[in-house]
A and B are shown apart, each in its own frame.
Chain A
Amino acid sequence: MALEAEITRRDLLRAGAVGTLALGAGSLLGSDAARAASSSLLASTPKRGGTLRVGIAGGSPTDDFDMAHINGPSATVRGQVFYETVTYLDGNFRLHNDFLAQEVQPNATGDRWTVRLKPGVEFHNGKTLTADDFLFSIRRLLDPKSGATAAGQLLGIDLKRTRKRDKRTVEFVLKRPFSVFDYLLSDIVYVVPVGYDPKRPVSTGPWKFKSFQPARRTVLERFPNYHGTLAYADELVLTELPDDTARVNALVSGQVDAINQVPYARVAQLKRQSGLRVAVSPTGGFNPITMRVDVAPFNDVRVRQAIRLVMNRKQAIATALYGQGTPAADTYGRFDPSFNARLTREQDIEQAKSLLKRAGKEGLKLELVTSPIAAGIVEASQVLAENAKAAGINITVRKVDPGTYFSQYGKWPFGIDFWVGLPYLVIASIKDGPGASVVNVTHFNDPQFNSLFNQASRQLNQQERTQIVHEMQKIQYERGGDIIWSFQNGVDAYSTKLGGIQPIDKTAWGLGRAQLNKLYFR
């Protein structure tokens, strides 16, 4: 299945790069893809028309449609569906430097990046995409007043020295080298035209804005001048259904055609249901249990390693994720080409006990603060507490609501976190590398790790970089503050009336990287 999805994607993207805009070409492409794939699910000819209804998790009455505000699961989906980035990381974890960009080139030291935009990409308001628009978008994201979610990851940009070189070219100057800046640009760095008004949003995306009601629904329609695959459906309705049960019910009773974030407990049952197709994808997303390495008792690496060793990861995956996960070994970056998959960690109570004994921390009493901020994390916390008893560690699990949890985010000595599967160095740059601040909840600040991070940031050669990253992952494995116990699956569900489904999305963003323009009614 992974292979088939890949072929479809590659074909469609190649065509997108050639710049096929005509309506007919879009469907021709689809049938090409269908010939290439043998799966019966892809064997139907894509048709235009219809209203595609998708139920999505999350949603708050305070949400808006601003390209800068990508806080929470529903804003994430809306952003991906509507806005576009210059580079694009696909569901198979391949980066496309030719999405809105024509090419993205670093200098030899990795601290200057030249982004040349594609010609003739049109915004919904008829304006053609230029370097000014791209720069405007970056400046808007970095303006503290716009409250942009992406601000933290863009702090490395030297805005004063970054300028446009010509009508379609922007030269970024970075405060320090960053060898995966092109990956960074693919993550919620959305491009809007100069003079962008968040109340009347426009983008270069496949869907034009029609209406938006916070915590209720978003209505979009096909943008006929889209630079990629024209949307098959005439109209797209995203309905926000924060309650897991309601979301599943809406799909089962045929009120929506697809949903994201299927609760793990319902996967087995929905798979048996006729008329539905459950898309389960392995991802690099992870929901760690976090220990602050700067406060007692976690400032003792033996304590951290002992707690990591007591957790029965397979049991946690079976109980908390209903089997929808793969054991992890306290480091991240799965599916990144530089990920070291050879690291593993099994439960070892004896070693944990001996570590605690050597640290003089026998009979440890801890409070783990947890909150339902991600599927299964509360249950996983309880599994850890249960496992820890065997090593004489007494963990009290305190469950708080997400609002309370986030108000003290980064302060809890023993807490939790959630991450989608971004590339390794992108995560490290925000999470525990030398520049990390707000989301560095483990307060990890390791000189050797930081120095390796800087080396990797300068290293533009992928293979050389992989060597360095493996060393970084080893450090996290040996003395990091995260208990990364699993990479969880992403689960979406679709009605079998739909074709063009891309079941694999390793990034954990979901809904096949929200490529809803490629879904069609059979």
Chain B
Amino acid sequence: MTPTAEPTLAPEMPLQSPGSVSSGRRSQKSATALWMLRRLLLSLLVLFGVSVLVFVATQALPGDPAVQILGHGAQPEQLAALREQLGLDRPLLSQYGHWLGNVLTGSLGESLTSPQSVGSLLLDRALASLALVLSSAAIAIPLGIVLGSFGAIRRDRPFDYASQGVLLVLTALPEFVIGLALLILFGTTVFQVLPAVALIPSGGSAFMHPRELALPVITLVLAVLPYLTRLQRAVMIDVLESDYIQMARLKGLPERLVVRRHALRNSAVPVVQGSALTLIYLTGGIVAVEYLFAYPGLGSALTTAVAGRDLPVVQAIVLLLASVYVVINLVADFLTVLLVPRLRTQRA
């Protein structure tokens, strides 16, 4: 699967106040700062909304955490004792208030029965997932830019056709299928060269286990590469056909310089947005891939926590993933504003 939403090529424009028409550089700067602040506050509002949604959604899940913890043979008095201990017998609003209070003070609460707190339970897994996302992004984004640019420059030539064909096929395949195919090819049946299951002990960094990382990372790279490459190719083709490139060529600049100095730089903005979307997609995409390779990250913790109705863990992971979304979006928008001179100075 690839992200379905098209990247927003232009970020939300900084608002112009009528009085700022004749203002100078300083007020432009402060307007940008104001816009950033507004975006920041809006993001916090979004997160608050998410927290309510997550809480309500977890409460709506059919199933009883106490039964999940004690087992289906639990005696009624055992269940009552546990519900009281966990505060599951209190009104919903009070449970939400308690949870939000915890979150705001930086504590994600206590897991339902695990002796560890949710925070310590998740830190290790969050770092493992981060390693997975960052490695995949670090490979996929540059590769996508290179392949896409190359495809644009060699447009309608054999390389372009071949890469477009392969990428189209990949686009059509869900990452679960890609992962399974890689697993059969390199892990179990055809060649047994890479570990089929990512048995990474906790404590150390996942980067210390490159062999275990290999298959999940390749799967994720193949899942996002088509989108990135096709985006970069489309943007590059647009740029290469624009007037200023024509002008640069007419000036007699060598093609290499035209591409490097003019085309690539001008294609940066959509790529920043595209990369942000890719990161966001990867953050969500880990759930399936982690499950497939039994990778000990947030995704697999989420699937087991949902199955086990460990609501504090579910709430913490979803809120964490939502925060990642919001932060990446925010950073991408800020970067875009900084990259595009027009967006910084347009007010004049």
Contacts and interface: CB of A to CB of B under 8 A. Distances in A.
Interface of A: 55, 59-64, 69-72, 144-145, 147-149, 151-152, 155, 198-199, 213-217, 239, 241-243, 245-246, 249-250, 252-256, 400-404, 406-407, 409, 430, 437-439
Interface string B36-47: 000000000000
Interface in B112-126: 112-116, 121
A255 B75 CA distance: 40
A144 B81 contact: yes
B191 to A, nearest CB: 10
A214 to B, nearest CB: 5
Interface stretch (B26-34, B61-69, B237-245): B61-69
Interface in B54-106: 61-64, 67-78, 80-82, 85
B196 A250 contact: yes
A64 B304 contact: no
B108 to A, nearest CB: 13
B110 to A, nearest CB: 11
B201 interface: yes
B281 interface: no
Given A145-B81, A147-B82, A438 B196 contact: no
Given A214-B121, A253-B195, A404-B62, A438 B73 contact: yes
B148 interface: no
Contact of A60 (B73, B201, B304): B304
B147 interface: no
B304 A217 contact: no
Contacts of A64: 113-115
Contacts of B116: 214
B254 to A, nearest CB: 51
B294 interface: yes
Nearest to B80: A144
Interface string B174-213: 0000000001000110001001110101100000000000
Contacts of A407: 62-64, 67
B313 A61 contact: yes
Contacts of A250: 196-197, 199, 294
Contact of B113 (A62, A145, A148): A62
A82 to B, nearest CB: 16
Q: Which 6 residue pairs spanning A and B have beta carbons closest together?
A: A71-B71, A403-B63, A249-B196, A60-B308, A253-B196, A246-B294
B197 A152 contact: no
B63 to A, nearest CB: 3
User: Which of A147, A241, A243, A256 counts the most chain B CB atoms within 10 A?
Assistant: A147
Nearest to B62: A404
A214 B192 CA distance: 29
B296 interface: yes
Contacts, number: 153
Contact of B197 (A145, A249, A438): A249
Contacts of A400: 62
B310 interface: yes
A455 to B, nearest CB: 25
B292 interface: yes
A294 B81 CA distance: 29
Contacts of A59: 304
A62 B118 CA distance: 10
Given A145-B81, A149-B71, A253 B197 contact: yes
A72 B115 CA distance: 17
25 contacts: A60-B68, A60-B310, A61-B308, A61-B310, A62-B310, A69-B113, A72-B71, A145-B85, A147-B69, A151-B75, A151-B78, A155-B75, A198-B115, A199-B115, A215-B304, A249-B183, A249-B188, A249-B196, A249-B197, A250-B294, A401-B307, A402-B307, A406-B64, A407-B63, A438-B72
Interface of B: 61-64, 67-78, 80-82, 85, 111-116, 121, 183, 187-188, 192, 195-197, 199, 201-202, 291-294, 296, 300-301, 304-310, 313
Contacts of B192: 252-254
User: Which of B72, B76, B77, B121 counts the most chain A CB atoms within 10 A?
Assistant: B72
A242 B307 CA distance: 11
Contacts of A70: 71
A152 B296 contact: no
B183 A403 contact: no
Nearest to A437: B75
A62 B111 contact: yes
A60 B72 CA distance: 15
B288 to A, nearest CB: 11
A371 to B, nearest CB: 11
B197 A241 contact: yes
A61 B69 contact: no
User: Which of B77, B197, B292, B304 counts the most chain A CB atoms within 10 A?
Assistant: B197
A406 B309 CA distance: 11
B70 A403 contact: no
Given A149-B73, A252-B188, A438-B75, 7 more contacts: A55-B197, A62-B305, A69-B113, A213-B202, A241-B294, A253-B195, A409-B72
B72 A406 contact: yes
Nearest to B63: A403
Contacts of A145: 81, 85
Contacts of A245: 292
B202 to A, nearest CB: 5
B307 A409 contact: no
A62 B115 CA distance: 8
Contact of B62 (A62, A254, A256, A403): A403
Given A253-B187, A253-B195, A403-B309, A62 B71 contact: no
Contacts of A406: 63-64, 67-68, 72
B77 A144 contact: yes
A224 to B, nearest CB: 25
B67 A239 contact: no
